[in-house]
Structure 1
Amino acid sequence: MKLTLPYQGLLRASRLAVLSAAALLAAGQLQAGEPSAKAPAPVIEPEAPFVTGTLSLMVDTHFVSYGQDVWAAGQSWQDPLFHPSLELNFNLGSGFSFILGTWWDVNDNAASSIGDRIQEVDVWAGFGYAVGDWKFTLLYQAWMYGSSTEEIVDFKVAYSSFLNPYILLHGRTDRGAATTFGEGLVVQAGIAPGASLGPVSLSFPIALSYDTYDFHGGQAGFGFASAGVSASIPLTKSITANIGATYYYTNDNVIVTNPDEGFVMGSAGITVTF
């Protein structure tokens, strides 16, 4: 049947509408799932390195071991000591880490049983666990001096905040060459609030301790109190210069070998992180 002109126009209009709808549907299908040009790029967190480390090269006026003035320097600063240390942290994932470290006491105060001027070599190994602002650390330490080894187990709980409080249980399980001391425990608690002065980082550590009987050759009770200030000055991205001073007040009924109940220890050196 031959269509009249009005019907032909209506048919053409219908076809055009169908084609337009099909074109719009196809365009929508092609764009489905494509990111918007204005969408932010995904944030990719940098992967934590497997090994990190800290090398410290410090010169100290005293060797202080939990309140004990080991070389009996007292109030003198005339005989500085070199104390290098190195600690490595291995990232085990899920907040766990494996820790290895060493610390040396180098001076000419006595004939060395190790060699040259190396009076003591300490090594430690253990594990750390961090969750939120909490960190837990368990270490076994071997302190080698005087042709013998003093064995230590440390457990520390720390909380990262303005005050940075912590508590440390320091247990001597084998006295080694420390023949005038016994096995036992030191409980130390402290804080270390910090501040910044331009690029300089300041820390104000304060600590108190309690000794069990005969740990430092004396009675059980309050062992020492200390308060200090230290400054870290960045030299490069990974190297800082450090300087500080700490005042110690010790109880001579508990820590019996110190020549003075009160003394100030000074420290200076550099720290390299990698």
Structure 2
Amino acid sequence: MNFSETSRYSLLFLGLFITVIPMLYMIISSLKDNKSTFSYPPKLFPGLDEITFQNFTYILNNENFNNYLMNTLFVAFVTVLIAAVISSLLAYTFARFIFPGKRILYGMIISVMLIPGLAMIIPQFEMAVKFNLVNNLWGVILFYSAWVTPFTTFLLRGYIEDNIPRELDEAIYMDGGSIFTVYRYVMVPMASPAIAAVSILNFLFPFEELGWSQTILKSDEIRTLPVAITMFFQAHNRTDWGYVFAMASLSMVPVIIFYLVLQKYFISGLSSGSIKG
């Protein structure tokens, strides 16, 4: 192994270490009682006799975790669905058709990517009040969908232009198909790798976004997990780290499962057929 390869692998392992350590610390701390969390000197790996599941038992039995999880899953799945449909239609339109104002419209959509969602929190909240979306999960879903649609459209348009030949469109048109036939039988199946990849990011978003959901969701029964974890932490005087880490660790499980499920479709989509010259 030469010097350049050694340097490359060293950087990769350093990046992996920096990425994994916070998550590893969270999971390990969730398996320790609260007193051990504050022990000095700090101990990263507890002994086998120190491992306990009481934090998870408490969260699952006392903190309405299942309700928070179901709220978050509902928001995540609907956001993914809305973003996938709207973004794929937009990407198909911008990638395949020429019409007046195309560059301006696309530039406006992409420019939204440069604006943080919370920078528009005041006008967004006024819109939510006007349309009766405050303290309503749809007030979270619709705004999340609007936030992730520009980036999703950007990725899907690039994928369609680079990986889906126009000859497939023309073959459908010659057989009497419409633009919607092309969208259904060509664009969606062949763009499935890109749709799967960006859907993973969109699914993760409701599990990590706090500012907007905390602003608009007031009732305990409709809170999402990020809001629930924050409220729990504040209610317990910011000291029960074991419970907080347990709740955060449990919230990762649906995201990991969603990733593993979509990964299969992502890999199979990469090997899907195309035109052979």
Bigger CA radius of gyration? 1
- TM-score bin, normalised by smaller chain: under 0.3
Is the helix fraction higher in 1 or 2?
A: 2
TM-score normalised by length of structure 1: 0.22
Is the strand fraction higher in 1 or 2?
A: 1
TM-score normalised by length of structure 2: 0.22
